Structure 1
Amino acid sequence: MTRFLAEMIFLAGVVAWGAIRIPHEIRNKRKNKIEVSSVDRQERVLLLISLAGLGMIPIAYCLTRRLGFLRFADFDFSPAAAWLGALIFVAALALFLATHRQLGRNWSQTLELREGHTLVTHGVYRLVRHPMYSAFFLWGLAQLLLLQNLIVGPAGLIGFGTLYCFRIAREERMMHEAFGQHYAEYADRTKRIIPFVH
């Protein structure tokens, strides 16, 4: 594994991520009416911070590193760490695909509930309430290991971690309001993003 190959693996992962997400986004926007929305300025800013950390900064780095972009923050490259990052990215993509398939028409990129929204508690949702967030944290970890740079590497965990910290309570409150006791019981038997831990 070389630094260049690690960058290409990261970019391939981003393309695969888009190939999973974009069809769901198009289908849901066309077919599913939004019934409840908590999208506000805070939500938009959080999405932008997450996008910067997981997308804009690392993509710019991979495409322009040879021109000098943020190269000053590179550290000694570890092939073993990069291979581990590649495996974690594959796991993140598999989890991301599973969450989209299991959510189906209930999926939304933001704090929204669709018309006829149902509470999904099967598949990976039996293990954690927010497996899509788990997938994004795995992406951030893969980015840290693949893009061995003091700025770009942790940018994904910082960017998405910021979104998670400020969004999760609002999302869970919205789910409690929508599903009441059923959601409360589900929350009692599952953790948020790491099975049996958190």
Structure 2
Amino acid sequence: MNERFRAIVGSIAFLFVAPGIVAGVIPWALSGYRLGPPFLGFEPFRWFGIALLLPGAALLIETFARFALRGLGTPAPIAPTKSLVVTGSYRLVRNPMYVAVVSLILGQALLLGSVSVLIWGAVVWLTVHLFVLAYEEPTLSRSYGEQYDRYRANVRRWLPRLTPWRG
């Protein structure tokens, strides 16, 4: 089995295990995917939820594909990429995969009018933020050195750039 094929299979498996549970199974368990009243009685919140879900799903697929095809690895820490991925959505924000997962959760919360899913989204974001600070950024800095440090200096962690970084 060649390296690219292993990366694709590993990324697909990890997609179903990690984001599938965090952004799919748990929101379903919390809400039963039942449509509750819109937040604050404001129906447009549902449309904003849809506006988070659609690009969130596309972004998640793009980031997983990019890790497998460009980085020849997976998002799983046990099978990381062979090279630093700084193309595609990674030119706009350092953590588009996490942004996508949180967008999916918050989109569901708004669409369904679910406070419990909204709280879950906040818990996931805080957990991911702490993971990025404590593990991921130091690991990437050690692994890729000046290349990652330059990237980190030019691309924000959570808020997208208005123009793609061309480093």
TM-score (norm 1): 0.61
Is contact 2:93-2:157 (8 Å) kept?
A: yes
Aligned counterparts, 1:153-192, within 5 A: 153-155=118-120, 157-169=121-133, 170-192=135-157
Q: Deviations over 1:8-45 (max 9, x none)?
A: xxxxxxxxxxxxxxx99871279xxxxxxxxxxxxxxx
Q: Secondary structure at the match of 2:114?
A: coil
Is contact 2:31-2:116 (8 Å) kept?
A: no
Q: Which residue of 1 aligns with 2:91?
A: 126
Q: Deviations over 1:97-137 (max 9, x none)?
A: 1111221132223x3453x7101111111111111011112
Distance 1:124 1:29 in 2: 17
Cα pair distance change 1:166/1:76, threshold 3 Å: closer
Distance 1:75 1:142 in 2: 12
Among 108, 113, 119, which residue is 2:75 paired with? 108
Q: Deviations over 1:70-118 (max 9, x none)?
A: x8x9866543211221121001011111111221132223x3453x710
Among 25, 32, 43, which residue is 1:79 paired with? 43
Is contact 2:93-2:155 (8 Å) kept?
A: yes
> Which protein, 1 or 2, shows the higher relative CO under an 8 Å CA cutoff with sep ≥ 6?
1
Aligned counterparts, 1:3-14, within 5 A: none
Which runs of 5 or more structure 2 residues have no equivalent in the other structure?
Answer: 13-17, 163-167
Among 99, 117, 129, which residue is 2:63 paired with? 99
Q: Which residue of 1 aligns with 2:52?
A: 88
* Aligned residues between the structures: 149
Is contact 1:24-1:100 (8 Å) kept?
A: no
Cα pair distance change 1:176/1:61, threshold 3 Å: closer
Among 19, 38, 63, which residue is 2:32 paired with? 63
Amino acid at match of 1:107: T
Q: Radius of gyration: which is bigger?
A: 1
Which runs of 5 or more structure 1 residues have no equivalent in the other structure?
Answer: 1-22, 31-46
Amino acid at match of 1:59: W
Amino acid at match of 1:28: G
Identity %: 25
Root mean square deviation of aligned Cα: 3.4
